[in-house]
Structure 1
Amino acid sequence: MSSLSVYHESSPQVPNKVLTHVDDIAATLAEQGVRFERWQASTPVTPGASQDEVIDAYRGQIDQLMTECGYVTVDVISLNSDHPQKAELRAKFLEEHRHAEDEVRFFVAGRGLFTLHIDDYVYAVLCEKNDLISVPAGTAHWFDMGEFPHFVAIRLFNNPDGWVANFTGQDIAGRFPRLED
């Protein structure tokens, strides 16, 4: 189940609120400029589907978002617990960073924890199958795929070079809960 836990940055073990209703999650994140919504595939996506098959299943929503927001590149990332660099990738994504563009992810399968650091608050968003999150450019955040990752996600970019992070050098990510496997 998707969820949002909101913490004050000084209280990393005790959330101020925990939301599990999609509309409540979306409304709370929208107050911070973060887009959160649910998508449904136009055709079934089978395990092991190719990148083109995954993108085609969501083509209508992808095209609408690309037109609305000016995204120029779309791809699919898939990670599972057999990936040989899972530990290195997890460590890299767990460092607080920002992007010069929006970070847009749609979870076709599996789950991941996006944690956003906005002003004095930390918003931990557990994204699962059918969840779309768009983290605005310049927003400090980190991502946890868990020790045993399992997700397939569609990524949309403004920058044709794809994922480019500017790490903050702050250690805040290590103080907050991680994705439990």
Structure 2
Amino acid sequence: MVQAWYMDDSAEDPRQPHRAEPGRPVGLEQLRRLGVLYWKLDADQYENDPELERIRKERNYSWMDIITICKDKLPNYEEKIKMFYEEHLHLDDEIRYVLDGSGYFDVRDEDDRWIRIAMEKGDMITLPAGIYHRFTLDEQNYVKAMRLFVGEPVWTAYNRPADQFAARGQYLAFLAQTA
């Protein structure tokens, strides 16, 4: 099962867990209230997994590719890692399925506090359009992930502040409804 928690305020190595002290765990229901969806799947069977196919069909995730994030596989690795960790939002949902390795997605809660979501093999997550977030590897420095999209992929990240976009306004309206 996925683990999530409120982060400390340390600016040290982002690959560390950064758990707030005392610990403040976050459950799936709280993530759902933020619009973050989570599934645990069998990553060893991703090519023929009926559960993955069901989710893709239900949610219209029609486009897919696989990315490996590590020094040896990702061109401009250092630059990309820094870019992924910049706080940003997208105008579309961000869907990631970890096939191997691990990393962290950080999302902002309704009070603008960071929640860290530890992702490992078999974890699939959907971050809603308009949520401020970032990604980093953990100390393993390796993740292989499936990227899914509704329709054609859009890679544009809008660094904070990006409150002028309709997707951000729609997300804030969603948060107000779930409060």
Q: Which range, TM-score by smaller chain?
A: 0.7 to 0.9
Q: Retained in 1: the 8 A contact 2:43–2:121?
A: no
- The residue aligned with 2:37 is 35
How far off its partner does 1:25 sit?
3.3
Match of 2:118 in 1: 126
State the Cα distance separating 1:114 from its structure 2 match: 0.2
1:11-44 Cα offsets, whole Å, 9 max, x none, are: 625356444xxxx73223112221112101474x
- SS of the residue corresponding to residue 35 of structure 2 reads coil
Contact 2:41 2:52 in 1 (8 A): no
Quote the RMSD (CA, aligned, Å): 2.5
Q: TM-score, normalised by structure 1?
A: 0.72
Q: Deviations over 1:78-104 (max 9, x none)?
A: 122323422111011011111111111
Aligned residue identity for 2:116: A
| Residue among 144, 148, 163 paired with 2:155 | 163
Aligned length: 151
Cα distance in structure 1, aligned partners of 2:32 and 2:153: 27
Corresponding residue to 2:77 among 78, 86, 89: 86
Residue 87 of structure 2, aligned match among 80, 86, 96: 96
Q: How far is the alpha carbon of 1:6 from its aligned partner?
A: 1.8
Consecutive unaligned residues of structure 2, counting only runs of 5 or more, are 11-19, 163-179
Alignment partner of 1:150 is 2:147:
no
Select 1:112's aligned residue among 94, 103, 115. Answer: 103
State the distance in 2 between where 1:91 and 1:141 align: 13
Give 3-state SS (helix, strand or coil) of 1:137's partner. coil
The residue type equivalent to 2:31 in the other structure is L
Cα drift, residue 67 of structure 1: 1.9
CA distance in 1, matches of 2:140, 2:79: 12
Secondary structure of the equivalent of 1:78? strand
Which amino acid in 2 is paired with 1:141? Answer: H
Q: Could you tell me how far 1:161 is from its partner in structure 2?
A: 3.0
Change (3 A) 1:42 1:143: closer
Q: Deviation per CA, 1:105-152, whole angstroms, max 9, x where unpaired?
A: 111100111000133222110101111111011100000124763111
Q: Which runs of no fewer than 5 residues in structure 1 stay unpaired?
A: 44-54, 171-181
The residue number in structure 2 matching 1:70 is 60
